[in-house]
């Protein structure tokens, strides 16, 4: 099936499930990337391209290359086929699963308005449900204690990304993935981080503490509650030498939000670990509205993963 190279901001429509099933191998994958059951309800809907996915960070492997894929604005995985995983990953869409939106239709007729922050989608029709069951039979979502999804299969769906950073930053600039200002920022940060890692072994602005055993705090936060992120010094006092609190890293990019107020999106109770496929339980951890990774420390990665916040890093307002 031929495909178009879609660019940031373009409107595209997800092909129907029968068309997509025809592109998949016996494991429910195309070019190593699974089409997940959670994606099936989005068939026929129209979305705007968020980013091209020519590269992506992969936990445990660093930056990797990907072919012929994009991320779409709005839809994220709701974990419904994966025992309620709350990672909320953006879906990767192979371009063969998409087609240009029919721009002759009034914009209001597109389904883009359904693709906002809501992570739960309408119940599929009986026909769609039958096709979804066929898909699930071709794509195992769990074996023993290991889950299978786009996240866990990213290492196999991507390629080595070893060529120079400058080449890829220039490509991002030319196709609209980076503004000139952001391009200059990434070049500066790339140089700065290289120096910092040589001197300290860490990224610039990556906080670290001196605790041998980190502590916890239970706020029992609920969706919609207003919180303030503590100062960087207060947060450093909760971290070990690797910048972690009970295994969760306070990422350098999170420091820019210190002192600011945000609303709680949801508490996190369980997520699938990308590197192992295991479901892990979380306590006293939340997602905050609008706070996602911007790729500032990882070469303009487009994934926009949610940032995870320990409650000990927050205070209720």
Q: Summarize pLDDT for 3-39 with one digit per residue, the tens.
A: 678 999 999 999 999 899 999 998 889 999 999 999 9
Q: How confident is residue 231, by pLDDT bands cut at 50, 70 and 90? A: very high
My answer on whether 169 and 148 are in the same domain is: no
My answer on whether 182 and 240 are in the same domain is: no
My answer on whether 198 and 232 are in the same domain is: no
Q: Is residue 171 part of a domain?
A: yes
My answer on whether 152 and 213 are in the same domain is: no
Would you state the structure tokens that stand for residue 316, as one six-digit string? 């209720």
Cα–Cα dist 146/164, whole Å = 35
My answer on whether 167 and 259 are in the same domain is: no
40-49, 164-173, 187-196: lowest mean pLDDT where? 164-173
My answer on whether 180 and 48 are in the same domain is: no
My answer on whether 97 and 200 are in the same domain is: no
Looking at every residue in the chain, the average pLDDT score rounds to: 86
Q: Are 91 and 58 in contact (CB under 8 A)?
A: no
Say which residues have a Cβ less than 8 Å from residue 106's Cβ, sequence separation at least 6.
none
The count of domains in the chain is 3
Does the pLDDT value for residue 107 go beyond 50?
no
What per-residue confidence (pLDDT) applies to 163?
58
Q: Is residue 18 part of a domain?
A: yes
Q: Whole-prediction pTM value? A: 0.85
Does the pLDDT value for residue 216 go beyond 90?
yes
What per-residue confidence (pLDDT) applies to 230?
98
> Which domain covers residue 189, as residue numbers?
163-204
Q: Is residue 116 part of a domain?
A: no
How confident is the model over 240-266, as pLDDT tens digits?
998 999 999 999 889 999 999 999 999
What per-residue confidence (pLDDT) applies to 91?
98
My answer on whether 137 and 56 are in the same domain is: yes
My answer on whether 218 and 194 are in the same domain is: no
My answer on whether 129 and 170 are in the same domain is: no
My answer on whether 214 and 263 are in the same domain is: yes
Question: What are all long-range contacts of 193-197, with beta carbons under 8 Å and residues at least 24 apart?
Answer: 193/297
């Amino acid at each position: 099936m031929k495909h178009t190279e879609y660019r940031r901001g373009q409107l595209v429509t997800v092909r129907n499930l029968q068309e997509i099933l025809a592109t998949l191998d016996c494991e429910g994958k195309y070019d190593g990337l699974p089409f997940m059951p959670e994606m099936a309800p989005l068939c026929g809907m129209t979305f705007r391209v968020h980013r091209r996915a020519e590269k992506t960070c992969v936990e445990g492997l660093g930056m990797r290359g990907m072919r012929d894929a994009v991320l779409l604005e709005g839809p994220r995985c709701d974990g419904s086929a994966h025992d309620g995983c709350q990672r909320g990953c953006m879906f990767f869409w192979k371009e063969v699963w998409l087609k240009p939106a029919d721009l002759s239709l009034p914009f209001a007729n597109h389904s883009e308005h359904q693709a906002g922050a809501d992570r739960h989608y309408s119940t599929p029709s009986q026909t769609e449900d039958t096709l979804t069951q066929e898909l699930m039979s071709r794509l195992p979502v769990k074996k023993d204690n290991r889950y299978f999804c786009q996240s866990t299969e990213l290492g196999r769906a991507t390629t080595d990304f070893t060529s120079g950073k400058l080449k890829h930053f220039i490509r991002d600039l030319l196709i609209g993935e980076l503004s000139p200002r952001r391009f200059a920022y990434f070049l500066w940060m790339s140089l700065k981080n290289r120096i910092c890692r040589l001197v300290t072994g860490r990224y610039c602005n990556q906080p670290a503490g001196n605790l041998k055993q980190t502590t916890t705090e239970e706020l029992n936060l609920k969706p919609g509650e207003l919180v303030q992120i503590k100062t960087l010094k207060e947060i450093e006092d909760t971290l070990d030498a690797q910048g972690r609190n009970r295994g969760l890293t306070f990422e350098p990019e999170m420091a820019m939000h210190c002192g600011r107020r945000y609303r709680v999106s949801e508490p996190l109770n369980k997520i699938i670990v990308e590197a192992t496929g295991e479901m892990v339980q979380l306590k006293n951890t939340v997602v905050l509205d609008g706070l996602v990774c911007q790729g500032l420390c990882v070469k303009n990665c487009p994934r926009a993963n949610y940032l995870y916040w320990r409650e000990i890093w927050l205070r209720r307002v």
